[in-house]
Structure formats: C-alpha cells, structure tokens
Structure 1
Amino acid sequence: MNQTKVDKLLLKLVENRLSEQETEALSEWLKSEENQNYFHEYVKINHLLNSEQHFGNADRLLDTIKPSKKRFNATVVLKYAAVLLVLIGSTLFFKNVLFSTQDSVPPAPVVRNNQIRPGVNSAVLTLGDGKEVALGKGADYTTETLNAKEDKIVYVPKQGKTSQMEYNYLSVPRGGQFSLLLSDSTKVWLNSESKLKYPVDFVPGQSREVYLLYGEAYFEVASSERNHGDDFKVYHNEQEVRVLGTEFNVNAYGNEPEVLTTLVEGKVTVRNGDQSFKINPGQQSRLDLESGKMHVSEVDVFSETSWKSGVFSFKKKRLKEIMRTLSRWYDMEVIFENKSLEEKRFKGVLRKNQSIEDVLSVIMSSSLNSYEINDKTVILK
C-alpha cells in the first residue's frame, strides 16, 4: 500500500469514516513494526486524535493486530496524548513537545481590541437569473433544483434530458468555507476567498465542466461510468484539469505565484497552452504564473489538502506563505514589521477553530519574537 493511500486511511480513521474493507487494509498494514512506528509519529505530529470516540476506534483497530515481540503499546501512547491535549491544551502541547523552546523569554504579545475570529460556513449563491442568496448558519434555501443548508448545497438532477445549460456561481468570502454536491454526485469543498462557476445540471454526452474562477477547491469527482461515460474538467484561466473519476485539489489564488494541482486518488491530465502532464497520486503540478512554465513533483498530500478536514498542516513552509493562508481564513491583515521573518520556516499542524492568539503563540514558540494584534491587523515582530 503506497504512502498516499496510507495517509488517506489514517485521516479517515481519525474522522471516524473508515469502511470495513478499509479497516481490514489498515489493520494488515499496521502489523509491521515499522508501520506502527510511523503511526505513532503521525499521531504525535498531527495530534488529530482528540476525542474519546476517535480513540475508541483506534483501540478497536489496534486490537485486531497480532502482537509482535517488540511492539510498542500504541494504544497507551494515544491515550497519553489525549490526556495531554485535554489537560494542557494543544498550544502548550505544541510548545513543549513539537518545538524547541527558546532560552530567553520573548517580549509579551500586545493585544488591543482583538476582532479576529476563526472562519465559519458562509457563502453567496448567485442563481441563473442573477439573484443572490446569502448562505450560512440559519440561512436554509430550497428550490426545485437545489437544497441549501448552513454548510452545503445539494443539487437534484433534473428529470429528463437537459438541453440548455444554466449556470450558478458560489462565492466564499474571506473567513468562510462551504461545500456542494453537484447534480452528477461530484462533491466540492471551497476554501476561503474562492469562487466556482458550475452548471445546475450537466448535458449527457458532453464533458462535465466547471470553472474555478479563483481560490481553492477540493474535488471528489463522481466516476464517468455513473455519468454516461462523460469526463470531468476543471478550468482556471488557461489551465485545464481533465479526469474521469478521482480526488484532487486545485489552489489558484490570485495573490499566489503558482497554481497548484494536487492528486489524491486516480489520475488526471493537467494542460496549460501546449503543456500537458499526467500526474499520479501523491504528485502535484505547479504552474508558474509569471513564466507560464509547469512542472510536476512529489508532495505531502495531507499538508496540501488538510484544510478540508479542519486543520492547517505546514511542513517547513515560509511564514510569508503561511500568513497568506491564515489571513484568508481569519479575514485579517498581516504586517511583517521584521521583514526577515518572511523567509523563516515553520512546521506544525494547527486546528482551524483555534483562536488567532493560540495560533500565533504556537508559531511564536519557534519562529517569532513577539506579535501585536490591533482590531483585525496582526503585526509580526
């Protein structure tokens, strides 16, 4: 079982979404002592197992493994981590376990009228006639073709053939997130500050086409076999991603230097002008917006797609990049008072529902001297 598949199953484990077949596959994989060590490190680094329900699933899974002579007690390790997280909180856990502490005491952060809050489920749906509908908590909306709840839109396939294409737009603001189920059963998650154009229903016999106008989206594409053999395409400017049925992530923010397409499962073809690349699971195509050149490389899929599952995973990323990501989710402005901090690198996993002060304290433990919060502005020192 390749590493991408393993990481995906581990994420499903902590989200309580493993099927019986997947549980058996992961149990078989965990019989290796080397793989048990990897499992241990995965939990320690990503600290995602933070509920009794999830630990119960881990217990039952690990109980199916035949003990080896040198097997460490992973269940005890997980429960110990759980106690740590509950009693002292994830911020302190990060500072004392995952990052080296500084010898000198840094200046205390300054907080004035903190107006920064974690993002929420929020979006604006634009219908074919131009009508705009605000979506989010307490804002349900239903028509003949869709049913919108506080965090998701579900489209209902029309009876009979669709001859004329009608498009909807879903816009997610800074500090928001939303998901939708298209009429072909494709699932889409939209990150903060993103906009998607898509048909209310697809025409049989034609490619299923959607347009990521800007931002970031994760696609779990319904197979072509379930949709008259029709392929699925995602467009962003001149880039085209063509699939038959797979899972992938497209990051195409206007203030980023590259468009990143990360494949989780299946196969896709990415085109831009006369450039065309086939990418495999665990790979990412990177389109440089300045030069127009594209290349493919291996990546950590979890880090590239973890936003969908409620966490940010940063693997030695520059603070400049990290703060662009956080500013979209927290809808805040970030100022680097000390410009040298922009190139500093940080490694860690942060839960998206943490307060901005907790997030900055974690980063401060390894990469900052101090910070200041003033209304919706963060100044890094």
Structure 2
Amino acid sequence: MQAEIEKLIVKFLNRTISNEEEALLEKWLANPVNEHVFHDYVQVHYAISMDCIDDLRLEQSKDRLILPEIEKVRSLDHNVKPKGFSIKPYLKYAAVLLVVGGGILLLLSKANEMENPVEVVSESEVIIAPGTDRAILTLEDGSQINLENDSIYEADGVKASRAMITYNATKGKISSEVQYNYLTIPRGGQFYVELADGTKVWLNSESQLKYPKNFILGETRKVELVYGEAYFDVSPSTEHQGSRFKVVNEDREIEVLGTKFNVKAYKDDINALTTLEEGLVRLDVDDEEFVIKPGQQVDVNKLTHEASVKYVDVASEVAWKDGVFSFKGKPLKEIMKTLSRWYDVNVVFEDKSLETVRFNGVIRKDKKLEDVLGIMKSRKINTYRIENKTIILN
C-alpha cells in the first residue's frame, strides 16, 4: 500500500481528513481490489469491525450516551453490498469508537488473543489533562522566550506564537556567521517550526532542536536533534542550489536531498529510530552507511552502535504529529513511556509482568489520561491508581 494512501486512512479514522483528501480516498476505493485492501487494513491495524464492537462490555459502560449510536451501527445490514463502495459506513464505526470513553479509539490486548475484552470505566476524580502546544525558544544571544498561552514574539524575520515558529529569511542572503536558535519542548508539549529554508519540523514532547537562524546559500543545511523526536518535511535541494540537508543526532548523521522522515532518539531510550516516509535518506553510523527507502526504518543501538534495517508501518510511526498515538503490537512499557511524556506523569509498574503485555490501538492525543487508562483497563491490567502525578499499574 502506498504511504500516501495509508496517511489518508489514518486521517479518515482520526476524522481529520479534508473533503479533497476524502475524495481521493473514495476514488482509490472505487477499485474492488483496493476495497478489500482497505477492509483488511482497517481491521488489522485498528481493530475496527463489528466483532470488536460486540466485544465491548457495553453493559458495564457508564457512558449511556454512546449506546444508541452503537445500536444504530449494529442495525446496519452488512450483507448487502452498496452500489459503489463508500467509506461513510466506516466513518460511523470510527465515530462510535471515537466517543467511547470520552474520545478514545478501541484499544485491544493482543497478548491474550481477545480473551480479555476492553472495559470502559467511569472517569476518575483525578484529572490529568493532555499536553498542549508549548515550547521554549532560545535565541542566539541566550535569551529565552516562553511560547505558550497567548505569547507572541516577532523580530528580525522570526515570528513565534504559542503553536508555531516561522523564519522568513531574505532570498539570496549570504551570512558569514551562522547563528543558532534552540527550540526546547518540555514534557506535556509539542510544537511546529518552519525553518528559514522552508523545511517543516514537528517536534514531540521532551525534545530539543538546534538549528541555524539563516542558512548559508549553497552550503549544507545542517540541524541537530539534540534529543527527543521530530518529523521533518525537508525543502528540496533543487530549491537551494543543490544544498543537501543533514540532521545530526549524537554520533549519527542523516543526509537527505528532499524528503519526509521521522527521527526518534529520546535520552532514556536505548535505541534511536529513523523512519522514512518519502524520498531517500543516507544514515552514517560510525563507519557504516545505510541508504533506506520509503517504508524502512533504521534501528541503532546507542550503546553498541549496532544497526539494522527493517520495514515498518510508517503511518503508525508518524501518527503522533497528526494528533494521534498509534500503537501496533507495542508493549505496555513502551506505551506508558510515550503517554508519560505527553501527560507529564511518572509511571510505576508494581506488576512487572504487565510491562510486556502488547496492545494494538489508536488513541487521540487530546483526551484526559483517565480516559486512556479507563479504556486500557482489562483483566490483564486489574487496577491502577494515581498518586499526585504518578500512575501505578498493578
């Protein structure tokens, strides 16, 4: 499946798809072969099927408002094939799943092959809100600007607000000295920046990017992901006199011509991951060079420097920048680490066996942590409690 089609499906399920994008998806689905591909993809990757809806413990749900909507979906006659495939019925499935537990898509445990259905539990008294757009911009003189709420900064070609930063460099400008800015995203934050060359960068929670305020015309455009996770949509080298774009992370260097890729290298992670969505990327690790294609991921062990290349579900890997966490066969320990960064909480596993339980599912990032934990609560995760900003699983 093409990466662009996967992206449209993810947007469709998250209900962020535009009318134009939906029309493209409908056109692709006009082919009966693609219709089957769509069915399989949705069911395998997102567990959206009538069987999964039946597995919800509706009788234990405290959210009675969603019951009529689920019954409407159940009443559809799925044995009658419509004239011309439409994604509208699937939109109804997505709508139902999106409102379960206050906006959480179905999250299923694969560890026990559906023996432990998902529970929807009532909201906890403790409310931990999701992260927001916020960052700290450090200018070349060392001064810092806190970007959150209604803060605005505009000076010398830089426009910054609570959600994004843009750099408007003068075309053809040649600088004899490169001046660097730092953009630091705290736990519970995310941010978007458009660099002076037009490259777009999305930064995840607990990340830091070092980048030039202006690039030197004709020379390699180099930025540094100091730590964390970032998605890059690189301005092509053809628009910059052949100047290539490089991302440095510790002792690793990623070189591109013009592409879309994701780099994940958190300080507390042993592995650094580079995932390519479009274009071509060359990754240098010590004296070893890797050239990866769209759909591939380079996994580098930061301790041993051993590296491997594999194919991954790119749409799932980069869904975070579109307001979604997508977990495909991920262990609970990894999932909770991701959630801890976004909700700025600590996580303790009293029952260590829970760390390796694997889940499939999609979670919208704009929901309270209690809703997320509620939908994950099953027989495998018997109980959890919240003490201050620490989540204890047992």
Secondary structure of residue in 2 paired with 1:204: coil
Structure 1 CA distance, aligned partners of 2:391 and 2:194? 36
2:219 aligned residue (203, 206, 213): 206
Letter in 1 for 2:372: V
Picking from 174, 181, 188, the partner of 2:194 is: 181
One of 273, 289, 296 as aligned partner of 2:286: 273
Any stretches of 5+ residues in structure 2 without a counterpart? 49-80
Question: Deviations for 1:65-92, whole angstroms, at most 9, x for unmatched residues?
Answer: xxx9886654234235425645875448
Matching of residues 85-124 of structure 1 within 5 Å: 85-86=98-99, 89-91=102-104, 94=107, 100=114, 102=116, 114=126, 116-124=128-136
Q: Which amino acid aligns with 1:272?
A: V
TM-score, normalised on structure 2? 0.82
Percent identity between the aligned chains?
45
In structure 2, the partner of 1:379 is 392
Q: How does 1:286-365 map to 2 (within 5 A)?
A: 286-365=299-378
Distance 1:233 1:33 in 2: 42
Q: Is the 8 A contact 2:30 2:85 kept in 1?
A: no
SS of residue matched to 1:138: coil
Query: Structure 2 vs 1, CA of residues 77 and 198 (structure 1 numbering), >3 Å: closer, same or farther?
Result: closer
Amino acid at match of 1:209: K
What is the total number of aligned residue pairs between the two structures? 356
Identify if the C-alpha distance between structure 1 residues 345 and 266 changes in structure 2 by more than 3 Å, giving closer, same or farther: same
Q: Distance in 2 between matches of 1:263 and 1:273?
A: 20
Q: Call closer, same or farther: CA 1:89–1:103 in 2, change over 3 Å.
A: closer
What CA deviation, in whole Å up to 9, does each residue of 1:222-257 have, x standing for no partner? 001111210000000110000010000000001111
2:164 alignment partner AA: K
Instruction: Determine helix, strand or coil for the equivalent of 2:95.
Output: helix
Q: How does 1:156-235 map to 2 (within 5 A)?
A: 156-158=168-170, 160-235=173-248
1:271 alignment partner, SS class:
strand
**Paired residue secondary structure (2:134):** strand
Matches within 5 A, 1:2-151: 2-11=1-10, 14-17=15-18, 23-24=23-24, 26-40=25-39, 42=41, 46=46, 74-82=87-95, 85-86=98-99, 89-91=102-104, 94=107, 100=114, 102=116, 114=126, 116-151=128-163
User: Tell me, what secondary structure is at the counterpart of 1:347?
Assistant: strand
Deviates more, 1:360-369 or 1:341-350: 360-369
Change (3 A) 1:90 1:118: closer
Provide the C-alpha distance between the structure 2 equivalents of 1:119 and 1:105, rounded to a whole number of angstroms.
24
Task: Give distance in 2, aligned partners of 1:287 and 1:146.
Answer: 35
Change in 2 beyond 3 A, CA 1:292/1:212: same
Deviation per CA, 1:330-353: give whole Å up to 9, x if none: 100000000111111111101111
Contact 1:167 1:200 in 2 (8 A): yes
- Partners of 1:244 and 1:92 lie apart in 2 by 37
Deviation string 1:120-166 (CA, Å, 9 cap, x unpaired) is 11110000000011001201111022000111000011353222100
- CA distance in 1 between counterparts of 2:18 and 2:255 reads 28
CA contact (8 A) 1:174 1:192 kept: yes
- Listed one character per residue, the Cα deviations across residues 358-377 of structure 1 (whole Å, up to 9, x for unaligned) are 11122223641111111101
Cα offset for 1:43? Answer: 5.2
Work out the CA distance in 1 between the residues paired with 2:288 and 2:329: 30
The Cα of 1:193 is off from its aligned counterpart by 0.4
Please, what TM-score do these two structures have when normalized by structure 1?
A: 0.84
Q: Is the 8 A contact 1:266 1:280 kept in 2?
A: yes
Amino acid at match of 2:34: N
Distance between the aligned counterparts of 2:315 and 2:308, measured in 1? 20
Larger CA deviation: 362-371 vs 143-152: 362-371
* Shift of residue 104, structure 1, vs aligned partner: 12
Residue 166 of structure 2 corresponds to: 154
Further displaced range: 212-221 or 287-296 = 287-296
Change (3 A) 1:209 1:330: same
**1:277–1:85 Cα change, 3 Å:** closer
| In 2: Cα distance, 1:102 partner to 1:222 partner | 47
Distance 1:347 1:87, change over 3 A: closer
Name the amino acid aligned to 1:15.
Answer: T
Whichever residue aligns with residue 313 of structure 2, its letter is D
Deviation at 1:41, TM superposition (A): 5.1
Out of 231, 236, 245, the residue aligned to residue 249 of structure 2 is 236
Higher relative contact order (CA 8 A, sep 6+): 2
Q: Distance in 1 between matches of 2:97 and 2:363?
A: 16
User: Residues 375 and 276 (structure 1 numbering): CA distance in 2 closer, same or farther, change over 3 Å?
Assistant: same
For 1:19 and 1:3, how far apart are their aligned partners in 2?
A: 18
Give, in angstroms, the shift of residue 35 of structure 1.
1.8
Deviations 1:163-221, CA, capped at 9 Å, x for gaps = 21000000000000011000000000010000000000100121000000000000000
| Counterparts in 2 of 1:271 and 1:194: CA distance versus 1, 3 Å | same
For 1:140, the aligned partner's letter is I
